[in-house]
Chains A and B, each alone.
Chain A
Amino acid sequence: MRRYCDNRQGTIPPGVFDSHLYDEFELRAKAVSAEVFRVTRADEAINIILAIVNDTGVKTVASVSCPLIEASGIVDALKGNGVAVYTEQARIAEHIGVADIGMSGVAFGIAECGSVCQDALAVETRLVSSLPPLHIAFMKSRNIVPGIEEALEIISGFFTAGYVSWITGPSRTADIERVLTIGVHGPARLVIIAVDEGPDEGAA
């Protein structure tokens, strides 16, 4: 899969990430209706995601690969539970219209606004995070920057071309009578799995 930068860690100055920021990040993300689960190991995501699958009758999942998703073993677990999982670019493109869940990794979170930042150069990364009604984003719980300034500082270090997305809660609109309604064009639910241990980043 295409990535903008294979060794982005090298571009992030030491000391930018601070795990003490996690609580603030979680608070802000939940304030904009993201569902946030903090787990110690990536494989703990399996129970969380299977519960969602059972609750909502999920049949199809489209997932891009990232170190944390691989470490979690979620793809095999889903297949074992009879869910169709598409992970290849062409298959994702073909089935994304009917996928109930899209899964991807994100590089880091922003405590100031509860956003997650994604290298979205790969088109399949954008498909899985834009089209299905539910998007599950894997991230490393320690990869949090304090604010928008620091986030741009990091992006400034590697972004010369490509597609970077910040995602903050689910898709929303207030265009009819100013009533807040979620899930207009993008996902109606954003689930963030924040993993403490394992591969150093969840970025796609």
Chain B
Amino acid sequence: MMSNRRNLKREIHEKLNDHVLRDALARFAEVYPGAREKALEGIEDVEGLRQRLRDMKRDAVARIDELADKFEAEATKRGITVFRAKTGEDLKQYILDLCRNRGVKGVVKSKSMASEEVDLNPALEEAGIGVTETDLGEWIISLAGHKPSHMVMPAIHLNRYQVSEYFSGELETAIEPDIAFMVQTARVTLREKFLRADMGITGANFGIAENGAVGLLTNEGNARLVTTLPPIHVVIIGYEKLIPTVRDAAPILRLLPRGATAQLMTSYMSLISGRTPVMVKRNGGWVEGEKEVHYILLDNGRLAAARDDTFREIYQCIRCGSCLNVCPVYALVGGHVYGGHTYAGGIGAILTAFMSGMKAFEEFNELCIGCRRCTTVCPGMIDIPGLIEELRLRSVKEHGLPFLMNKIFDVMTNRRLFHGLLRAASVAQKPFTSAGLVRHLPLFLAGMTKDRSLPSIANVPLRDRLDNVIKKIDNPVQRVGFFSGCTMDFVFPETGENVIRVLQDLDMEVAYPDGQGCCGKPVSATGDVEHAKKIAMNNIEAFEECDVDVIVCACPTGVEQIRGYPRLFEDDAQWKGRAQRMAGRIEEFCSFVAREYEKRGRLEKASPRPDAVKVTYHDSCHLKRVLGVSEEPRKLIESVAGCELVEMKDADACCGMSGAFGVTHSNLSIPILKRKMKHIEETGAEIVACACSGCMVQLRGGIDRLTPDKKMKHIADILAENIIN
């Protein structure tokens, strides 16, 4: 277990320098999305199947007590002993007592994450019971004394040479680092363990209430041996694995292997119920007996989650690991940095909160950068980043914000003070400026960043340039408010000017209320509702004063945040109404302009001029996966005759910025950026387009460092330049 003094940054640093791990994870991250797609090809309606799985699991958790009672009754009817373990301690005590009563000396296990969650193996070993993990990867790491680094590939951090050393040590003979030979060696060694074991312990991929059966999936065939050879079988199953009927296993069986390893089905899938026959030796001969079977139904925080309206969603998890396979942070560091807890990644942070408490959650939840890529692949359609935000909210309610962060947010809430400091920063940073970029972000981020080039604070913010760009429009078709957000105001004011030009070109009158400030996202992302409320009230008042029908924002995070303002005022009807009015008027720039262009017949694909420049488009996580906007920016680029759109690989993979994460965890952010830059480089494009000021900060920093011949542009820049031309 973790000490409170753990140094997450140091652990991350170590993993980033583990090249075996880095290379293996990177190769896997490259091939996984394509392999998964291919595995899903045979399913006509993947979304429909995901919804079925989600709905089936929602129904199951809604009547979890009924299902558990039925499962227990049906199992009991078939001669199985069922024990409900409230905690890990209860579970271990039960198994230790059983071992003692039956004289068990050797146990073979097939994979059970629940048993790892409660540290079962050390407890058995302390009691002098030999316990062998039979999944090859689990066996390897048990020899190495490691924790799993991946849910499905627990030994992915070890190469063949390291494995051969552990094998040689265990078997006290030199084992060649030949993979096929080592697999055979494991077969022979573990076969002995299977044949001698007095007890087999398995997990369960699902438990069926209507007939008390459990389902087990493996590729190696070890679960079949664990459930066939020893005379006693113990199943450890969490409440979240219960499903009503045999038929309800269908969406799990269709999505689990495809999501986990891009297989259509694992090599073995077994459904077992009741006391199945087993061969026992009696008087020197083999006779058939009845297997003794125990089910341990594990709570350990699960029932509390089931009774929580928000967090019962974790029952939709089928432990496939798809979310980890597409997670940009996980692909860099693997599972070990998640605090030594059994469940890694974003989903791991949530599960751990319920199984090990909020303290454990606080240790590693910041490793979720909210890119939401996991939500596009999760078979159970769990909103992992959304649940993490909700947990952060609860964590801040419980423990408050760290002192420094609280002070910074006090400053950000005072718009005049905050903007005054940003202006001062544009002067203060002068000595460090190189090629328009600085080595250190000023002020509130200064303490959190190092070794990074991030864009500088502009000499003149957008709010001081308005007189040069805002024009009086005769007979405007519409009056539009412009919410810029801090980044566009203070870092990319030229882009802000271009947003205004594009809107004015559509004969719209643009209003830029001076009272507007930060949207509040950096604050509410930490779970701090009180500061977020004050910031929201400030913006609501500012836009009420200028009386507009539509408010345009060219930053998806800003749009998302403002749409969420009403939720901040659940307990204040008057402010809630005002927040709803603002939220109802906010429009994202690309989708708004695309719609207006289409009305005017300007969204047609232009045939690129001979001198057209190649443009590649990067999907912002929040623009694509929160706001659902991915076609419009591409159509806008293609409407410009001077541009030729070329797609990059994984255009919708995160750039690594993700608000403050890009700064607070720069050692993780930069490798994610480098992968993005590699895909950009491969397109041969001269211009990298995006429609998010957060991504612009990151990508411009990357271009400056790695590919200075390229240019970073917001869609608004591309459109405005086209008007001028």
Contact = CB atoms under 8 A, between A and B. Distances in A.
Contacts of B277: 2, 121-123
B140 A186 contact: no
Interface in B178-233: 179-180, 182-184, 186-187, 190-191, 194-195, 211-213, 219-222, 224-225, 227-228
A161 B279 contact: no
Contact of B213 (A114, A121, A159): A159
B106 interface: no
B267 A159 contact: no
B270 A163 contact: yes
Interface string A63-83: 000000000000000000000
A191 B160 CA distance: 30
Contact of B285 (A90, A112, A175): A90
B46 interface: no
A175 B135 contact: yes
B253 interface: yes
A184 interface: yes
Given A126-B228, A153-B247, A161-B211, A115 B27 contact: no
B376 interface: no
Contacts of B270: 120, 163-166
B269 A115 contact: yes
Contact of B136 (A32, A127, A156, A176): A176
Nearest to A150: B250
A185 B277 CA distance: 21
A113 interface: yes
Given A123-B277, A152-B253, A165 B269 contact: yes
B187 A178 contact: no
B276 A123 contact: yes
B276 A163 contact: yes
B507 to A, nearest CB: 56
A152 B269 CA distance: 12
B691 interface: no
Contacts of B137: 173, 175
Given A94-B286, A183-B183, A114 B264 contact: yes
Nearest to B228: A126
B220 A184 contact: yes
Interface in A152-194: 152-153, 155-156, 159-179, 181, 183-187
Interface in B255-273: 261, 263-273
B247 A184 contact: no
B265 A176 contact: no
Contacts of A112: 42, 254, 264
Interface in B456-499: none
Query: Which secondary structure dominates where chain B touches chain A?
Result: mixed
A69 to B, nearest CB: 20
B246 interface: yes
A19 interface: no
B655 interface: no
Contacts of B221: 130, 171, 184-187
Given A176-B182, A181-B183, A167 B267 contact: yes
Contact of B220 (A93, A113, A159, A172): A172
Nearest to A186: B221
Interface string A86-115: 000110011001000000000000101111
A62 B273 CA distance: 26
- Of B179, B191, B220, chain A has the most CB atoms within 10 Å of the CB of B220
Interface in B397-429: none
A73 B138 CA distance: 43
Contact of B268 (A122, A124, A167): A167
A97 B211 CA distance: 33
Contact of B219 (A130, A163, A172): A172
B282 to A, nearest CB: 10
B219 A97 contact: no
Contact of B265 (A113, A120, A162, A171): A113
Nearest to A117: B269
A132 to B, nearest CB: 11
B134 interface: yes
- Of A110, A163, A175, chain B has the most CB atoms within 10 Å of the CB of A175
B321 interface: no
A142 interface: no
Contacts of B367: none
A28 interface: yes
Contacts of B187: 183-185
Contacts of A93: 279, 286
B288 interface: yes
Given A123-B279, A162-B276, A186-B220, A174 B153 contact: yes
A148 interface: yes
A197 interface: no
B228 A127 contact: yes
Given A176-B155, A184-B136, A152 B279 contact: no
B222 A115 contact: no
Given A120-B270, A161-B78, A184-B186, A156 B228 contact: no
A176 B264 contact: no
A102 to B, nearest CB: 12
B28 interface: yes
A23 interface: no
Contacts of B287: 90
Interface in B29-86: 42, 78
B656 interface: no
B278 interface: yes
B159 interface: yes
Contacts of A122: 277
- Of A93, A114, A176, chain B has the most CB atoms within 10 Å of the CB of A176
A171 B153 contact: no
B24 A176 contact: no
A149 interface: yes
Contacts of B250: 148-149, 152
Nearest to A170: B267
B701 interface: no
Closest 8 CB pairs of A and B: A186-B221, A175-B137, A161-B274, A113-B265, A93-B286, A113-B264, A166-B269, A171-B221
10 contacts: A124-B279, A147-B254, A149-B250, A152-B247, A155-B246, A164-B272, A173-B219, A175-B135, A176-B182, A177-B159
Interface of A: 2, 28, 32, 89-90, 93-94, 97, 110, 112-115, 120-124, 126-127, 130-131, 147-149, 152-153, 155-156, 159-179, 181, 183-187
Given A161-B273, A184-B186, A185-B187, 20 more contacts: A2-B277, A32-B263, A110-B265, A114-B264, A115-B265, A120-B270, A123-B276, A148-B250, A149-B250, A155-B246, A160-B273, A162-B273, A162-B274, A162-B276, A163-B272, A172-B220, A172-B267, A183-B184, A185-B224, A186-B268
